[in-house]
Structure 1
């Protein structure tokens, strides 16, 4: 495992994402095994996050973004490549990002995942990129361009690409879908007919076994809430399940609650 971690850190060093550090700060490295046998590394900034005051930069609401797409007939979907790592850290901030391995101390030169200020800063950047582009919308590193006709869409894409070059941001080519009449965006299928829940996501929810613990119940309720626009009277229907989330309440189903899960 350590060899895999060292290999990732060597890649980050070579890419200029991190550097060796002498900072008095040292957050804990977290290693997450991936299905393909490789590892993903992140950092637990729990202590640092407790000391950082957020500026409250809001994320765009998903429902507002989706409601804006109903006039679209042609769509292009993009994902920014390693989005946070494209943002250069302020020089004074770099020592605060330091993290330790069993033998070494590193610090980030690019914006790290795990710091609670990172999403807010990235939202600021991407909002500047798409500002003034009427038919380009972004939710963190997911971007959609849309238009009513192909020529206007191409012109819109050109302006978007100019902005990316201006801010020195790069897209993930393998995740791009350009000039499509149907596309998946933020867990929804977008088409000239409108917006509907992504079938793959819906099947995952409908085939989810009844939850047996609070974590599973939260996951189910979170998935249902995300599609609440399409589920009539959802808040009323899940009220018995929400009561199970209260502290000190044992996760014990009544027959009625079981029926609620099956119905939903």
Structure 2
């Protein structure tokens, strides 16, 4: 793929923010994660820099793996040239999956490090029964045989493009699929009950921000009311 590097606005003085204290229990894990990223060529060790931004530590869904993120809100983000990329509307995804009896959901390993969101469409271009919504890739078919054939072609394409998947986080050959807050199967789609529960158990809003948050959630599921 012809991937264009990110371009930064460099006008003005460099920004250097103080580091944040890393909890003692996470320090070994943070060091190991950073060393692995260095070995993999993702980051480069430097002795000093006029730019500095603190890191944020998050725990991945497995409950133990650390995700290290840079908090670039006050340093990099204001200088970054935006690159517009269109995505499918959620309703278009639902319509594309209508009538499918077998689906797989592919999780890309560290997708944000592998491939720009705009380029995932290039990777899957020409493949039937495959759609991508940001970093979620879904394979579907009217029959299991059709699904399996499409899945094999997608994995072959990933191999050709050197795209890695997180197999332990993928879901293969399921009669229903959880996507974008909806449960989808051969009969159609319906709101995911786990996403509806917070809305049905809401307390009355006490300020404008809470009111806007509630209205946003209700608006998203308004098509199902």
TM-score range, shorter chain: 0.7 to 0.9
Higher helix share: 1
Out of 53, 68, 83, the residue aligned to residue 28 of structure 1 is 53
1:23 shift after superposition: 7.7
Of structures 1 and 2, the one scoring higher in RCO (CA 8 A, sep 6+) is: 1
Corresponding residue number in structure 2 for 1:92: none
Equivalent of 2:113 in 85, 108, 111: 85
In 1, Cα distance between equivalents of 2:184 and 2:135: 18
Structure 1 residues 182 and 54: alpha-carbon distance in aligned structure 2, compared to 1, 3 A threshold? same
Which of 35, 47, 50 is the matching residue for 1:10? 35
Alignment TM-score, normalising by the size of structure 2: 0.77
Residue-by-residue CA offset, 1:91-144 (whole Å, 9 max, x unaligned): xxxxxxxxxxxxxxxxxxxxxxxxxxxxxxx22221011111121011111111
**TM-score, with normalisation over the residues of structure 1?**
0.66
Report the counterpart of residue 191 of structure 1 in structure 2.
185
Flag the 1:38–1:128 CA change in 2: closer, same or farther, 3 A: closer
The structure-2 alpha-carbon separation of the partners of 1:32 and 1:214, relative to structure 1 and needing over 3 Å to count, comes to farther
Deviation at residue 60 of structure 1 after TM alignment: 1.7
Whether the aligned pair in 2 keeps the contact of 1:81 and 1:172 (CA below 8 Å) is yes
What residue in structure 2 maps to residue 130 of structure 1? Answer: 124
2:200 aligned with 1:206, yes or no? yes
Find the aligned partners of 2:99 and 2:48 in 1 and give their Cα distance: 52
Does residue 68 of structure 2 align to residue 41 of structure 1?
A: yes
Match of 1:253 in 2: none
One of 58, 69, 73 as aligned partner of 2:86: 58
Distance 1:189 1:19 in 2: 42
Q: In structure 2, list runs of 5 or more residues that go unmatched.
A: 1-22
